[in-house]
Structures are given as C-alpha cells and as structure tokens.
Chain A
C-alpha cells in the first residue's frame, strides 16, 4: 500500500510486516514518553539519582550515544573533506545514525536537566569557564547541522522529489554539504573533547582527574580520538546489522573493510595514548592527589579487570583485528572487531561516568551504589526505540544505501 513512497528498484517487506516490526518499538517509545512526562512534571524525585550521585544512566547514555554518533561527522569528514568517494555508500546511513544519537542525547538531557522551557538560558547566561557550556553550544549547533544534513536525504524520497521546489533545494543543499561537513567536524572535535575534559578537570575526583596538556586535560584528546575511532566501527556494525535484518546486501564488502581499516588505525593510536595516559596517571597524577591508583580497584566489582578489558580486550584486540588485512577480509572477524570496539567505548564511558562517581573519594566514604529507577530505564529505552523507528522509516522510504541498486544488478 505504500509502494509509491519506496525508492524504485529496491525491495522492501510488505507494509503489514513492517507495521508488525515497528509497532512494539512505538509502544516502547510511548512508555518512555510517559516516563519523561513524569520526570518533567513531578521532578527528579522520579529518578534514583541524588545530590551525591548526580550523573546516572542518562548521562552515561548521552556520552555513549554521542561517541557512537561520531560516525556521522567522521564519515562526512572523510567523504567531503578528504574525498574518500567510496563512503558515499554509507554517508546517508551515517547521517541518520548521527541524527538519532544526537537528538536522542539532547532529548534525554532535556529531561535530566529539567525545565526545558528555560533551555535558552544557557545561551543568554553562558558560563564561559564551564566545559558544559561549550558542550551545550556545540551540541546545539551540531544537531542543527545534522538536521540540515538529513534534509536532502528526506527530500530525495520518491514522492517528495516530484515537487520541483524540493528537488531544486535538495540539489543546492547537496552542493554546500562540504561546508556543513567541515562545521560538523569542527563542532564534534570540541564537544567530544569537552565531554572528556569535563571529567579530567574534576580535581576532587582523583580517579578521573588528569594533567593538563596545552589548555585541556588529557581526557579531552582521548575522548575525541576514541569517538573518531569507534564512529566508523559503529557505522560498519549497523550496516551489517541492517543487511542481516533486511536479508539484502546493501554495500560492497570493500566499503565495510575500508571503514574497519580507518577504525583500526584510529583505535591503535587511541590505545597507545590511552596506555601512556593511564601509566602516567598511575605513577604520577593519582599519587600526587594523595590517592594511589591501586586503591581505585579494590572495591567489589571494580577490579583491575576493568583496565584490562577496556584497554586490551576492547581496545588493542579489535585494533589488531581491524589492522590485519587478512583478518579484515573475513566478514565475521571484521564485524566482531567492530562490535568489540563499540563495546570498548561503551565501557570507557561507563568507567568515566558511573565508576568515577561510585568510587569513594574521602577516607570515611563508602563505595556508592546506584540502580536506575524504572522511569530512568524507560527513558533510556525510549531513545533506543526512537532510534529504531526513525532508522526503520528512513531505510524503508529513503535511499540510505545508494549501492543497493547497483549490487542488485
């Protein structure tokens, strides 16, 4: 019944099957919206956060999806600035993923901070000494850029492109896309970095505090690098997943291998610098703060295995797998490596947010525990559901993978 809206020459499931797929996600989204309403109407007492454990599941989600969403800016940078034309095959999908990640993050922030009607205060009363102000500014601008980048994808819909005004606007917008790709790169560089810098300047939290390099703490640079390293892996992983779910080959294998290679090189540099940073922190920064590093790994459940898992298992290992041409040519290895790399960033952001706050900082402190409330979890799941719904609609009605038609032939 919706064949007229689906791009020509590509096969999609029947509308009934698509509806059956999307309906549970819409219900989940509905539940999440109700939880968001409760938080905004009743206040943050709906959550299990308090004045001491002020960063919970939501901030963790924010940091994670923003890092994974870096695939949009980095793919755009490689395509429009470095002219890696093969990435045309995934750029639309990367833009949709970026938009989902960033708009989801902003939506959760709106609930987390509360008082969304006063969101403009951050621009009118900016605290120019706060890393969060930089993050807010960059996030807002970059979300605008992503929305603009998404417009041509939408306007290329089969029905919409029949409207001459839309067609012409899409064409002209496409011409200025390198400018937006450049701005996106610039903004991403700063907000990814500032999200990391935010933890690095926590002088009262020796687990997170890092030395300043230039004008920013080392976590500023590590966050940029890790996001840029994992972004292409996330695009690779989602493309593979969509191929599996749809039962179609959507891009040529060499495109995925190229994404893996880029991710591998970035990841190895990140692992190297992260190792140096960790060693310096263990030997200098933490002791100088009066807290020997081993004390952070004595709490139950938070042993040194975390360091091993984060740097070796989910950092070095996938980097080696992605860098080896022989291994990269085996799809199972390529996808597994991308999955491990994504898990690495998920773990890193967990360590930086949850572990940082959970660990005791004073001699009389206990290890704090925090379990998110159902409202927090429902809000989290709503963002996942929103992402699935928006991506599914985009995949069905827009051309996310232009090579699909070529491959069919």
Chain B
C-alpha cells in the first residue's frame, strides 16, 4: 500500500498512521474533484443563470426575501427559502386554496402610491412585469417603480433575438453612472423581439413550453401591499446608515429619484431593490 514511502515497513503503526493520513488526503482531493466536476457539468448545461439566482437569493437581506403571503397579511412572519419559486413551496397551495389573486381585465390600471401599475399583468419581485400577448408571446418590461428608481439609464444591453432566457436569470442589463444592473427575467423563453424604454417594454419572449410558468409572479390584489412593502424597503435603503428609516411619510416618488438625491449610495440601493447581492 505504501511501499513508495521511504523506509516503509508492514507494521501496524506504519499501516494505521499512514493509512489514516492518505485516506484524509484522498477524501480532500476527491471532494474537491467532485465540486470541480459538478461545476463543469452545470456550466455545460447552461445552468449558471439558475445557480446565480440561487446564490444571490441566499445572500439577499431577510427584508428582501419576505414571503408574498406575509406581504399580503395572510401570515404574520415568513421568509422565503425557495428562491421565490412557489412551485416548490409546500405552504403556497394552502394559501391559494383560501384566496387566489387573479389578473384584472386588460387595460385596468391602478395608481398605487403614485405608481402606475396595470393589473392585467404579472409582476416579478425584481420590478419587471410580463403580459401575455397571445400566440405564445409575452411582453416583458420594467415596472413604474423600477423606472423611477433608475430614471433614464446611460445604456441598455438587451439580449439578442433568439437568446434563451431563464426565469430569475438575466433579462437585460442597465447601466447607470458606474453601476451595472442585472434586470431579472420574470419568465423562461426565447427572445423574439427587443424594444426600448420609449416603447414601454424591453423584450418580447416566446415561451418554450405550451404553458409558461407564472406561479412565482405577483398579480392582482397582491400588487398594492407589495408596492407598499417595496416603498418601506426603499426608504430603509436610502436612509443614512445607523439612522434607520428617516424619510418623510406621504407624497409620491419623483420620476428620477437618482437625480434628486445624488448623495445616496444608489449602486447599493439599486442592488437591494433589484434583488442583487
């Protein structure tokens, strides 16, 4: 077993001592190799977008991971540990059985604390929306809350037509000042057309499956309490460290918050609000 060790003898001391030592070395090396191999496989299967979301989600502050049912007041306190993927949550169906929020008819808008939030579409917690346009195509855009936080971006990097998007993966990139922000895709699908901020939408996506998964997205009566919660988070994020929430209550958010408060660490605030660690 260890004849390569100089002056090795087949004595119990040599065999036990060196046996333990080399077993430990083998366990370390094999565990490291397994991690490397799994990484290689995951990368080849293009799973890095999913992994990135899982990793980022774990690093998000607890306040950003609040369960949607806590936001709506259905439960007193609950932090999501399913990466906002309600499909794998055992509790979600029980709440749905009691009260299932639904989409409003097309065109119905609601002004929530000054934000224009059409209720005929789904909302992702990372401030994007998705609306079914028929024939398997979905439109994806940035919600009013997100728009007002960013203002006019310095640059927008949209995925090329034909790119496959993953739910919670990178939808597109926004650049503002020196910050680069990943805007999360609300659904899975293939990009069929790209738009601009002036169009009011950024992507048109064709679902890869006959029924695109939307269970993880907010809708209907969930929107108002969610926006209220987001306002609280935003207040906390822009308040000076150690002071706590200190902004005046009431009023509405301006169109371009960044311009009005240049002293704020916007890179951190945007990361916080767009769910990036």
Contacts and interface: CB of A to CB of B under 8 A. Distances in A.
Bound together: yes
Interface of A: 3-4, 7-11, 123-126, 128-129, 133-134, 137, 141, 144-145, 148, 156, 161, 164-165, 167-173, 175-176, 179-180, 183, 186-187, 248, 399, 402, 405-406, 408-409
A134 B39 contact: no
A171 B43 contact: no
A77 to B, nearest CB: 16
Interface residues of B, number: 44
Contact of A141 (B13, B28, B54): B28
B28 A144 contact: yes
A169 B39 contact: yes
Nearest to A11: B241
Nearest to B9: A128
10 contacts: A9-B61, A11-B241, A126-B5, A133-B17, A144-B28, A145-B28, A148-B28, A169-B39, A180-B28, A409-B61
Contacts of B62: 406
Interface in B17-57: 17-18, 21, 24-25, 27-28, 31-32, 34-36, 38-39, 42-43, 47-48, 51-52, 54-55
B109 interface: no
Interface string B160-171: 000000000000
Given A126-B5, A172-B35, A175-B35, A141 B61 contact: no
A141 B5 contact: no
- Overall SS of chain A's interface: helix
Contacts of B5: 123-124, 126
B35 A176 contact: yes
A168 B61 contact: no
B178 to A, nearest CB: 7
A168 B43 contact: yes
A151 to B, nearest CB: 10
Given A164-B52, A183-B24, A406 B61 contact: yes
Leading 9 A-B pairs by shortest Cβ distance? A8-B271, A9-B268, A164-B48, A169-B39, A172-B38, A172-B35, A172-B39, A405-B61, A409-B236
B154 to A, nearest CB: 15
